[in-house]
Structures are given as C-alpha cells and as structure tokens.
Amino acid sequence: MFETLSDRLTTVFSSLRSKGRLSEADINATAREIRVALLEADVALPVVKDFIARVKERARGAEVSQALNPAQQVVKIVNEELIEILGGETRRIRFAKNPPTVIMLAGLQGSGKTTLAGKLARWLKQEGHTPLLVAADLQRPNAVQQLQVVGERAGAAVFAPEPGNGVGDPVDVARRSLDHARHAQHDVVVIDTAGRLGVDAEMMRQAADIRDAVRPHEILFVVDAMIGQDAVTTAQAFLDGVGFDGVVLTKLDGDARGGAALSVRHVTGRPIMFASTGEKLEDFNVFHPDRMAGRILDMGDILTLIEQAEQAFDAAQAERMTTKFASGEDFTLEDFLEQMMMIRKLGPIGNLLGMMPGMGQVRDQIKQIDDRDLDRVAAIIRSMTPEERRNPKIINGSRRARIARGSGVTVGEVSSLVTRFFEAQKMVRQMAGGLGIPGMPGRRKAAKAAKAKNKKGKQRSGDPRKRAAAARGPKQPAAAPDGAAPTGLPPGLGGLGGLPPGLGGQLPPGFQMPDLGDLQGRKNKKKK
C-alpha cells in the first residue's frame, strides 16, 4: 500500500547522502519533496502541514547541524515523526477485570467488519482467550450466515438467535449475548454491528443504542484504508456520534496510497490498534507504529518477520532437525520438503522479502516471484518413493521420467531439482561440520571421532607384504641439521615445514617421497 510513498521518500533521501552539510536551501527542498510525496499518498492536508512544520523545525536544530552525517539525521527525524503520526506506541486491548470483555465493531458497510470479527476471534484464541462472536448485523442480507461461516473457520462460537435479513432487534441480541457468554464461560465478546453505505442518523442511533445496552470496554472503528481522505471524514462522524477507542485498518494489501493510515490517528486522536493485510483469517496483525514507519522508509520489518516465523514454525520439529544435523546425519529430500513447507506457512514469499531492509529497490523483481514454484517442487518430491527421498543418488533416467509424469513436470525440472538438492546437501554438511572453524560444534565432533578411531588400533592387512612392512615400521627420516627442527619428512623436503598437524608428521608406509637430491643426481647423470 505504501509503495508510492516509500519510493518517493527513498528518492528524496538518496539525494541527501552525497551532502556533507545541509544548508537552509537543502532543508527547504527536502521538506518540499516530502510534502509532495505525502499529498500524493492522499494524506490529509492538515496532517501534512503539521508534519512538515515539525520536520523543518528539528532539521534546523543542533541535532542536524552538529551531526557527522546530516542526511542520516534527517532520515532519523522523519522516521520519528512518522512514528508519532501513526500513534507513537503500540496500543493493546484493555481486558476487563471481571469477564467477559466486550468489544464492539463499528464502521461503514463494505469496510470488512464481519471478516475482521473472525480474524480478531482467531487472534484472541491464539492469545489464550475464548471469544464469542455476536451477530448483531440484522439488516444486511446474509450477514448472520456470513458471520457463522467465518466463526466456524476461526474456530470460535457464534451467538446468532435471530435469522437477520431485516428480522430481529440488534440491541436485544447484543444484550442477551452477555448472559450467554457468562453461562458458556466466554471471556471475550465481539459484537458485529450493522453498517451503511454512508453515515446517517439511523445508523448512528442504532450503534449508540447497542453501546448503551452492553457498555463495551473497547469500541473499534473499522475503516477501509482504500477510501483515502474520506476515511478521515467518516472517522470524525463516528467519533462525534458514537465514539470509539481505537481504529482497525482493513485492506492494507490493496493498491491504495495509504493516506488513511497517516491521517485517521492524527485527526481523531485515537490509536490504530490492528491492521488487516489480506483476505485470509491469518492476515491480521497488531499495528506497530514504529514498524510501519520502518516499512514506509524501506528500513524493513524484521521483528514482524520473526514473530510470524515463531508462530509458523514447530519448535519440536525444529529441535528434531537440529539434533539430526548435529549428529552428522545426511540432509534428505524429506527434510528439504519439511523445511520448505514450514517456510510456505509464513505466507507469500514476496511479502516475506518485502520485510527485509532495502527490498524496496528490487520491488519489481520481488513481484515476479511465483509461489507456485514451491508447489511444483513439493509435487516433484512427493512423486518420489521413500527410498528415493532418502537417497537421491539412485534416481536414474527411468526414475526421473516416472517422477516427471507423476508430478506433471518435465524431466529437466526433476534433474534441476536433484542437482540443486545435492548443492544444498553439501552446504548443510559444511554447516554441520563447523565449516572448519575452530571451536565450532561440528569440528569438535570430528576431532572426537578421529580420536576414537585412533584408539581402536591398527587393522591387520590381508596382504603379507603389507603386514611385513607394517611390522618393520615406517622408515625413519634423516636427522635434521644442527639448529633446524625435524620435520618428519623424507630427506630433501625438510624445508617445506612439515606436514599439517594431525598427520603425525609421517607418510604411510609405501608412500615415502624420494629424496630431491637423488632425483637431481639422476637427472644430471641422464644428461651426461
């Protein structure tokens, strides 16, 4: 959503990095570009004026003039002011001391209240609560049925005593839901109210009646982030008519310019609490002003990426995989498929890469990433037999043809996957072996294994000549000259500094290298 704004601001700041000192003209030009970028992003004009005034005031201060890198200081100022506009601190739900906690959703029709109710219920369940969804939208056709379907997908109970479609009293339903929640031991009640195509007196009166009947602990105003500056007008009308405690932004995955997110909080004074970033129930996050500001300025959002990984990854599965690698077992195609499916749970690959710092510069390349490539890889691996997954070396030409037919791909794609897997397997072995770095776990294990092997003693050869050579022992090297350290090498190689530690300074029997002096003498004799 903030792609256009992010690109404009990135361009503005890139022009500052080449300047060792900022003049008054540089500050004015930068402020002018930021103003244009915000207005193009559909940010409300009063918000833009206040924002630019604060940035210019701080940019003229000592924190920039005395800084070693003025450009970085300006970026820091803009980042801090963006965080302030977006709310400053993360606002959490205030739960009641005596359950149930009542949360009322309000907003225009089409803003996504019913779907958001299911997303909120799913999030509450993950936080350890037992939510109850209440179908108090009895005007919109099939609104009750939609909430029941969404609640079933979210795994949350739904209180819907009235059929809807214009039948029933929403105030009475909301009031009765509290008794039902206490009886069924639900600690959170989420009330889905009716919306209208526009702000009108009847809508405000009904929402106010529900508010007075249940006295909610939190009233969340659900606003479509794609309606631009009109979101500010709607939010102000709801604030005056009903009142609300927090804002929820929906459809942040759209192609709108994002001005609503920067305007609603500043105009209403109410914090943005949640953000909906997709159509799926899991596309729902707590709104963090600092992280959103980082995304706008192309600084990434690593914390959100980590949180999503913690939710998607199975701790027991990850521990099992770590133990397997540490024990020296080979990385198989089964493990490869398992790891790929864990990454797939995090969502679209493009979204994950978009959370990395600096990815705004390669946004066009990220958009070309197709998640269906991972599905094709999974289909190829699942078309293999268990033995082929454990030991891909046995996959010959006929097996590759069979796997290609089973997965609906070409033989070349199967061969490419197997080749890439062997490269990944080699990399995993290097990581498990500590990459040869002293002190790494894999290196210590290898040293212990070598030590244990030496303790087993020498094995007896079946060749009589080798047994006799082993009985005589290795040939003793010539004594080193006075003042020189013995190297353990044959005569003539003493100047090479010896063999690496661990080889004992000796070559195996039968592999002694000839003396360089003898070689030179034979060479001169042949010339004569």
Structure tokens that stand for 387 in this block: 């033995």
Please report the DSSP string for 241-283 in residue order.
Answer: HT--SEEEEE-TTSSS--HHHHHHHHHH-PPEEEEE-SSSTT-
Burial letters 471-502, b for 16+ CB under 10 A, else e: eeebeebeeeeeeeeebbbbbbbbeeeeeeee
Closest CA to 108 of 203, 174, 173, 189: 203
Task: Give the C-alpha separation, 164 to 170, whole Å.
Answer: 9
Element (H, E) at 372: helix 372-382
Q: Please say whether the beta carbons of 265 and 85 come within 8 A.
A: yes
Residues making up the binding site: 107-114, 192-196, 250-253
The pLDDT of residue 176 is 92
**486 preceded by cis ω (within 30°)?**
no
What strand order describes the sheet that includes 157-159?
157-159, 131-135, 188-192, 101-106, 218-224, 246-250, 272-276, 284-286
3-state SS assignment for residue 285: strand
pLDDT values of the chain reduced to their tens digit, one per residue, 528 residues: 566 677 777 777 777 766 667 777 878 888 888 888 888 777 778 888 888 888 888 877 766 656 556 777 777 888 888 888 887 788 889 898 888 999 999 888 778 889 999 999 999 998 899 999 999 988 888 889 999 999 999 999 999 998 888 888 999 999 999 999 999 999 999 999 988 766 777 878 888 899 999 999 999 998 887 776 677 778 888 888 888 888 888 877 655 556 766 778 878 888 888 888 778 888 888 888 887 777 777 665 556 666 666 666 666 666 666 676 666 666 788 888 877 777 777 766 666 666 665 555 555 666 666 677 788 888 999 999 989 888 888 989 899 999 999 988 899 999 988 888 888 778 777 765 554 444 444 444 544 554 554 444 455 555 666 666 666 655 544 444 444 434 333 333 333 333 343 333 344 444 344 444 444 454 455 444
The pLDDT of residue 498 is 37
Structure tokens that stand for 36 in this block: 């244009």
What domains can you pick out in the chain, each with its CATH number? 3-85 (1.20.120.140), 101-299 (3.40.50.300), 308-434 (1.10.260.30)
Q: Please say whether the beta carbons of 493 and 487 come within 8 A.
A: yes
3-state SS assignment for residue 224: strand
Please report the DSSP string for 70-85 in residue order.
Answer: HHHHHHHHHHHHHHHH
Residues making up the binding site for GTP: 107-114, 192-196, 250-253
SS (H, E, C) 181-218: HHHHCCCEEEEECCCCCCCCHHHHHHHHHHHHHHCCCE
